[in-house]
Amino acid sequence: MTQGEISNKNEKKQKTRHTLNELLVYLFNYILYIEANNLKQKGVELSINEVHILERIEKASSNTMSHLARTLMVTSGTLTTNISRLEKKGYVERYRDENDRRIVRLRNTPKALEVLKIHDEFHENMINKAIGDLGLEENEVLNATLENILEYFSDMYSDQKKGA
């Protein structure tokens, strides 16, 4: 390989890296913006953050305040403030654990489940568009790539939590 070919290959690699970075940044911003607008157009008067809290309550392996705060990567105080707001709006109910009354658990109300239907529909459409023309192997490569990115961020988050 000549020096010119090596240089050209390096330039293409750098351009690809730059493009990927731009794609990830714009993708993140577009998803949040469009998702929030979609909810607003459907009559949902919650922030995207509040909807994601409802989603986490619905999907979490444990519905305790402390577990949800950890999975949402917020402090217990921040979650308590958000849950109080969602409770006042009629989307969340707090209740005491039957076996240990010190433990506060959360559940979504039927009103929250209606919001989550809208939210899930948005995500379903987004995923259908993302993988619509991909074959099985391409889907597997995409999933592996996104899992690598998630692992990177998860490791960074863990490292930062240890250093804090």
- Give the pLDDT confidence of 23-41 residue by residue, as tens digits: 888 988 998 899 999 999 9
Residue 144 lies in a domain: no
**Nearest one of 51, 63, 35, 122 to 89, comparing CA atoms:** 51
| Distance from C-alpha of 36 to C-alpha of 98, rounded to nearest angstrom | 36
63 is in which domain, residue-wise? 44-108
Helices (H), 2-59: 3-41, 48-59
Domain with residue 86: its CATH number is 1.10.10.10
pTM of the model: 0.80
Domain count for the chain, please give it: 2
Final residue belonging to a domain, choices 108, 130, 159: 108
- Give the pLDDT confidence of 55-106 residue by residue, as tens digits: 999 999 899 999 999 999 999 999 999 999 999 999 999 999 899 988 889 9
Residue 75 lies in a domain: yes
Same domain, 54 and 101: yes
Residue 60 lies in a domain: yes
The strand pair at 104-108 and 92-96 is best described as: antiparallel
Residue 66 lies in a domain: yes
CA distances, 19 to each of 9, 16, 24, 29, 64 (Å): 15, 5, 9, 15, 41
